[in-house]
Chain A
Amino acid sequence: AQSVTQLDSQVPVFEEAPVELRCNYSSSVSVYLFWYVQYPNQGLQLLLKYLSGSTLVESINGFEAEFNKSQTSFHLRKPSVHISDTAEYFCAVSDWGSQGNLIFGKGTKLSVKP
């Protein structure tokens, strides 16, 4: 069975500092990988995804994630965070044979302080 582990439940950082949110997955088959973001009192929104091709994927607001098959990881990074990045971030996985549902990690709360 597939699973997703987000090692850090909370990550506090100062504004303009770099951040890395860690995500590891387990799956016996090839996977698709996703990062979703949940702002306070809102639903989840897709941040970025890896389906195939380049292992480095980027979002429009400066986040990037790298698919590492040997380490079964898909860590999310941003070189300089803003107050507005404060949110909860969820890593998710879906395998090629999936009927369509995503398996989510438990989330990492990113708190950006001035």
Chain B
Amino acid sequence: DSGVTQTPKHLITATGQRVTLRCSPRSGDLSVYWYQQSLDQGLQFLIQYYNGEERAKGNILERFSAQQFPDLHSELNLSSLELGDSALYFCASSVDAAITGELFFGEGSRLTVL
């Protein structure tokens, strides 16, 4: 158990809909990262937050947004969903923003868009 909790584990929805994925980082970790894993693109970095502030942005679509709350949990919002958004979405956390450390990954939220 990494200590990172993601909900829901599975989600099935229709095109055009909006979903929210939730992540609780390990106790004491200030950084939260979101990754998208799909068969064709592999593991893609979406966005990073550090202590409530956006720290780095990767290949995140404009239809997607995220935030980190004062209690350090994070949410990833996916809107106007398309079939191609079907993927496994991982949240990871680390103690700080310096990448000499280790990322701790949750078990992922599997999104299926029909």
Chain A residues with a Cβ under 8 A of chain B = 32, 36, 41-46, 49, 51, 90, 94, 98-107
Residues of chain A lying within 8 A (CB to CB) of residue B31: 100
B86 CB to nearest chain A CB (Å) = 17
Residue contact B105 to A98, C-beta cutoff 8 Å: no
What would 14 A/B residue contacts be, using CB atoms closer than 8 Å?
A43-B90, A43-B92, A44-B43, A44-B90, A44-B105, A100-B48, A100-B55, A100-B56, A101-B33, A101-B45, A101-B48, A101-B58, A105-B42, A107-B42
Chain B residues with a Cβ under 8 A of chain A = 2, 4, 31, 33, 35, 42-43, 45, 48, 50, 55-56, 58, 90, 92, 94, 96-100, 102-103, 105-108
Decide: A103 near B102, CB < 8 A? Known: A41-B107, A43-B90: no
Residues of chain A lying within 8 A (CB to CB) of residue B105: 36, 43-45
Residue contact A99 to B90, C-beta cutoff 8 Å: no
A32, A90, A100 — most chain B CB neighbours (10 Å): A100
Residue contact B108 to A32, C-beta cutoff 8 Å: no
Residue contact B45 to A103, C-beta cutoff 8 Å: yes
A48 CB to nearest chain B CB (Å) = 10
A99 CB to nearest chain B CB (Å) = 4
Residues of chain B lying within 8 A (CB to CB) of residue A51: 100
Residues of chain B lying within 8 A (CB to CB) of residue A106: 42-43
Residues of chain A lying within 8 A (CB to CB) of residue B4: 43
Residue contact A98 to B42, C-beta cutoff 8 Å: no
Residues of chain A lying within 8 A (CB to CB) of residue B35: 104
Give A32 to B92 CA distance when docked, in angstroms. 18
5 pairs of A and B residues whose beta carbons are closest in the complex: A43-B105, A106-B42, A99-B56, A104-B43, A94-B99
A44 CB to nearest chain B CB (Å) = 4
